Amino acid sequence: MLALLIGSADMNCYAQSVRNLLPDHFGIQYAGSIGWVSVGAGYDLFRSRIRIGLQYGYVPEDLGGELHILSASVYYQPLKIKVSRTVAIHPLDIGIKAAYHFGDQFYLNWPERFPRGYYWWKSALRLHLATESSVTFELKNTGAVKTVTGYIDLNTNDLYLVSYILNPTVLTITDIVKIGGGIRIRF
């Protein structure tokens, strides 16, 4: 009897921790500089003030690839406006993304034939500043999916920013800001 109890407690505990480890959200995104299409998952942290995610993106050859991109993102969600009982808006989340590009032509560490600092940036890794504006719908009477979020993502990267800062009068913000959009679901 005792063994059974302990056993079931263990099982509960295990199920609980697995449940905690499961991502809070899954998403699919179009463009936004991390793939033609990217899929990802992540967690909501600090009472949903912070959202972190990991995405895999793909660009097929006839759309400018072929590219495989792994990106990690952190967003701060300062403002949430409840529109109704089931609809909420995040007018502007602010985030950073790091996008790693797979391939022999991209370097995290430049080969030794280049003197140290010959190229100051890492061609495999782009760092992005991003914003996200989203609408979230709560699904009441349905099964597993609790919310569905649609969003628009604006981003620029470190190298575009450098170009802009050095040419503020001739390059415009719209030159360096790139757009993406996606859908995210929460369970």
Task: Point out which residues bind other proteins (CB under 8 A).
Answer: 30-36, 57, 59, 63-65, 67, 69, 81, 83, 89, 91, 99, 101, 105-106, 111, 113-115, 119, 121, 123, 126, 133, 152, 154, 157, 159-160, 162-163, 166-167, 169-171, 174-175, 177-180
**Rounded least distance, CB 81 to other proteins, Å:** 6
DSSP annotation string for the chain: -HHHHHHHHHHHHHHHHHHHHS-SEEEEEEETTS-SEEEEEEEEETTTTEEEEEEEEEE-GGGT--EEEEEEEEEE----EE-SSSEEEEEEEEEEEEEEEPSTT--SS--TTSPTTSS-S-TTEEEEEEEEEEEEEE--S-SS--EEEEEEEEEEEHHHHHHHHH-TTTS-HHHH-EEEEEEEEE-
Q: Between 35 and 42, whose beta carbon lies closer to other proteins?
A: 35
Compare residues 125 and 139 and give the one whose CB is closer to other proteins.
Answer: 125
Minimum CB separation of residue 113 from other proteins in Å reads 6
CB 47, min distance to other proteins, A? 22
Q: Which is nearer to other proteins, 43 or 92 (CB)?
A: 92
